[in-house]
Amino acid sequence: MNVPLSRPAPIPVPASTLPGALRAHRDELAAAAAADDEREDFPTAAMALLRSTGCLKAVLPESHGGIGLGWKAGSWPLLYDVLRAIGGAHLSAARLFEGHVNAFQLLWIFGTPQQRQALCAYVAGGGLLAVWNAPSPAGDMVLLDAGPGTFRLHGTKAYASGAGHIQRPLVTARHESLGLLMVWPDVAHSPGPPGEWCMQGMRASISRSVHFDGIVRQSQVFGHRDDYHRQPLFSGGAWRFLAAQLGAGEMLCELMRCGLRERGRSGDPHQRARLAECVMALETAAMWVSTAACTLDTATEDPARAMACTGMARLTVERCLLDVIERVQRSVGLAAFSRRSPIERIARDLATYLRQPAPDALRDGIGETCFETPLPGLAGSPYASET
């Protein structure tokens, strides 16, 4: 009688150890960040470290050895700490990790049981995910009918972080009758030339264009028309990159604090004032990010509030972190602009990463909502009535 061999159960990621493991490897991540920035190279060593600490597999469900990081209800505080820890050491690696979490969440939520199994096998095998959505100036990616159960994926995406280093990203593509769909293709794709990403910072994110032209199966198409933009998930998920940015801002402040102490400047009232202003700005940003994350976690109660909260968090965190950059540079002086200083690299990366799309439209939408909705503390009062 043949007895089927049983596969050993996956060893779950110990959730409580992730932030501690990252802090223990902070110097390694920071050294890798400096080297990757200098070479303008993909953060291979940093991503290997995230694999070894269990961060990449943490997105998996418990049945596959993960903890549902990023998509399971109540997991946001841990993800918040992990993104801050990575962002404080290697902001480009944090950008890639955030994309990995985002892609897994979308593919898991909108995938069928069979698609979820394939997704888990890929990640359990060490695969890195990403979300490539930005259309190229030449036009968006398309899905063309290619026969029963197959499509031809054709077109180019812009600003694809990790281009050339991620085998299976999530991409969006438009079908003539089915609309905008999510595709998890297993086809070869070609990145644009290195010179495409000539930005001041985030050099190790390897954000370039990518071109696809291949056949994908129906099983590689996830969800239905415009599920990618389903709210509040689409807008509310912005809290994740805010957490990574916050980590970089906190590291700038810590480098400033330690540097001033070493130089005997802790007694200078002007330096104390700037440090206090940095800490207050960071505390403000932290409260906004955690509030946005918590609100999204319970968004079924009030989706509109989750979207508005995240929008306000985006604008507030941007302003707070720009203030931190300015104060750190003013306090440290010319040394903050030396390529030998980690402050120079972190400030450059952070200033670049803070440039998120459509801030004016976001602010305008928030203002419109505010005109229509009284402040909670004034609801029902004569001051909240129409004039």
pTM recorded for the entire structure = 0.92
Which residues, 6 or more positions from 96, have their beta carbon under 8 angstroms from its beta carbon? 43, 47, 128, 130, 161, 162, 205
Domain ranges of the chain: 15-124, 131-229, 233-375
Element (H, E) at 120: helix 113-124
131-229, CATH topology level: Butyryl-CoA Dehydrogenase, subunit A; domain 2 (2.40.110)
State how far the alpha carbon of 271 is from the alpha carbons of 256, 330, 347, in Å: 10, 9, 19
Asked if the peptide bond before residue 342 counts as cis, ω within 30 degrees of 0, the response is no
Mean pLDDT, rounded, for 330-354: 96
CATH code reported for the domain at 15-124: 1.10.540.10
Please tell me the least confidently modeled range out of 120-124, 141-145, 304-308: 304-308
Token pair of 272 as six digits? 């104390």
Q: What per-residue confidence (pLDDT) applies to 357?
A: 85
Asked if pLDDT for residue 13 goes beyond 60, the answer is no
Q: Which two tokens stand for residue 32?
A: 């890798």
CA distance 273 to 279: 10
Q: Is 89 helix (H, G, I), strand (E, B) or coil?
A: helix
41 CB contacts (<8 Å, ≥6 apart)? 35, 204, 206
User: Rounded to whole angstroms, how far apart are CA atoms 239 and 223?
Assistant: 23
CA distance 361 to 259: 39
Instruction: Give the CATH number of domain 233-375.
Output: 1.20.140.10
Read off the pLDDT of each residue in 346-350 and give the average, rounded to a whole number: 98
